[in-house]
Every structure is written in C-alpha cells, then in structure tokens.
Amino acid sequence: MADFKTRFINRKAAEAIKTATLFIKNHFIESEKTDKNRNPFWVMVSKEISDQTKSWRFIILIALIILTCFGSLYTALTNFGSAIKPDDPDGSFFFLKLFTISDETMPPFFVFITFLGPLLGISLGFDAINSEQNNGTLSRIMAQPIHRDSLINAKFTASIMVISVLFFALCFLVMGFGLIMIGIPPTAEEFMRIICFILLSILYVAFWLNLSILFSVCFKQAATSALAGIASWLFISVFYNLILNIISKATMPSQYALPIQIIRHNQLMLDLSRFSPNELFSEATTTLLMPSIRSLGPLTMEQIHSAIPSPLPLSQSLLLVWPQLTGLIAITTICFALSYVLFMRREIRAK
C-alpha cells in the first residue's frame, strides 16, 4: 500500500513538473514572438525613456524640482492658517491654496513650475538629434526598416511621457501631504482645477521641449543647441520684460491724458507681454488656481462696480483662459512642425 502511494505521488509530481515546464516554454516562445512583432516606434520610445531617466542631468533636475516642491509645500502649510480670511472670495477653495500661498520668502508652487519647467524641457531635448548624428548612431538607426519620422516622434513622445509622469507624481504628492496635514479633502471642482493645471504645465514644458528639439535639429553640436535654448529662456524670462518696461515708459500717456488713452496703453502693453509663453502660462495658471479672478485685462470703474465678488465655476475659468491655451498650443505646434520639417529634409548619412 505504501509503495502504491509513493508511485502515485511521484507520478503526480512528474506530471506537475512537465506541465509547468511546458507552460514556461510556451510563455517564452510567445514572449519572443511578441518582441519580434513589436512596433519599432514603441521600442525607440522605451529606449529613450530608459536613457533619459538614467542620465545624471535628469536626476539632478528631478532632485532640484522635488526640493523646491517640498519648500513651497512647507511654506504653504506653515502659512495656511493666516491665508484663510473671512472676506476672501477664494476662502471656500482650501485645497487650491496649497499651490498659491506664499509668505514672500519663497514663491508658490506654480511659480517654481514657471521658472524650472523650461529647464526641464531644454534638458530633455537639446541633444535629441545632434547627439545621435555626432555618435554615428543616426545613420545606423535609419538603416533599419523604420520610418524616418518615427525617430523624432519617438523622441518627443518619450520626453512627454516622462514629463507627464513627473508632474502628475509631484502634484499628487503635494495633494497627499496637504490632505494629511490639513485634513480637508479636495472638492470635485478643486480636483478638476488641479488636473487642468497639471495638463497646462505639461503643455508649457512641451513648448520648451519642442524648441530645444528644434535647436538640436538646426545645430550640429549639442553644446550650441543647449546654449541657444538657455539663451531663449533667459531672454523670455528676463530681458523681454525689461524691453517691455522701456517701451512702456517711452509710450506712457501724460498725466492729463483721457482715461480711455490710459486703458488703451495698458491694453497694448498687456498684448505685447502675451507674446511671452511665460506670461500666457502665468495668466492661465493664476486663473485656474484662483477662481476669484474674473478678468485678465484692464477694467473700467463701471465694470468693477457692477462685478459680483464671487468665484467663477471651472467652465467659466476655462473660457477666460482659452486664448492663453490656444496661444500655447499654437507655438508648441509651430516649433514641433519646424523641427519635423527640418529633420525630414536633413542629410543624415555618415561622413
């Protein structure tokens, strides 16, 4: 009886081992078939994501962004109580104040995105194309059975995926710490406003990414394209505002000018400032994160007197910033189209 039980157990164990071996063998065969039939575009995307996330420049920038994120979050939490006022139109939107509170010693969270977002986009795209050609890998990639535009599309897609994951992780991290510290969950409208802010931030960084990819296509050396991207960022962030101040002082109406002339002058300077993507992003994020903002232009005394001091719903805020969103989408699309056309016409044979 004991021998029969032993033979039965051994037979069942052998059958189980055989079944497991057959399953593992079939699994590896299917995996090999899947890898062989995998779209080359997504292979390049996964390779670009791996290269970007393992690079030291990306790690340094991530550390810098996380440090500033926690700094702005600490400032917001320490000043949260003093920021809640009875007559504040945004008093019912407690959670949005985590992104907008400042004590004048450290800017709020969305200001850090305005300042550090361009550096992130430039760092991910300034050597996207010219480094491949300088290393001699561009001609090897193009020798494979893939479409030529798949390379630049994969570069852009991989960078956008990395940026999207980063911003969603940072903003949800801020929301999580805020929920733990203040104990008040966000409302549905607050949550949707934060999601819109994240998408807007991704669009803003995508403009700088496409601009840096454009410089990478235009210039042969990665250092030159990096300097061009940083110079563009400095000009738009610093020198463009200085130029506008000079123009404003030169065209300032006299003290005896009519109110309509002063309003036209202010509107002109506002229109000129909106040629800057930083200004477009700042206006859009301020309107989304501060629902009490009802206008982005100069108002007359009659308009101010008849305005109702109450927060706007999300739909009205989106309608108010729709020109800024359209402008950011337009300049981002233009930069990508230029880099796409120039890359398709570029000579990529090894020299």
DSSP states along 225-260: HHHHHHHHHHIIIIIHHHHHHHHHHHTPPPTT--HH
Q: What is the pLDDT of residue 171?
A: 87
pLDDT in tens, 299-340: 555 555 555 667 788 888 888 889 899 999 999 999 999 998
Largest CA distance in the chain: 116
Cα 339 to Cα 218: distance, rounded to the nearest angstrom? 8
- In this prediction, residue 14 has a pLDDT band, given cuts at 50, 70 and 90, of low
The answer to whether residue 176 sits within a structural domain is yes
The answer to whether residue 351 sits within a structural domain is no
The answer to whether residue 18 sits within a structural domain is no
The answer to whether residue 131 sits within a structural domain is yes
Q: Are 200 and 147 in contact (CB under 8 A)?
A: no
Q: Are 228 and 219 in contact (CB under 8 A)?
A: yes
The answer to whether residue 288 sits within a structural domain is yes
For the ranges 60-64, 161-165, 254-258, 260-264, the maximum mean pLDDT occurs at: 161-165
Count of domains forming the chain: 1
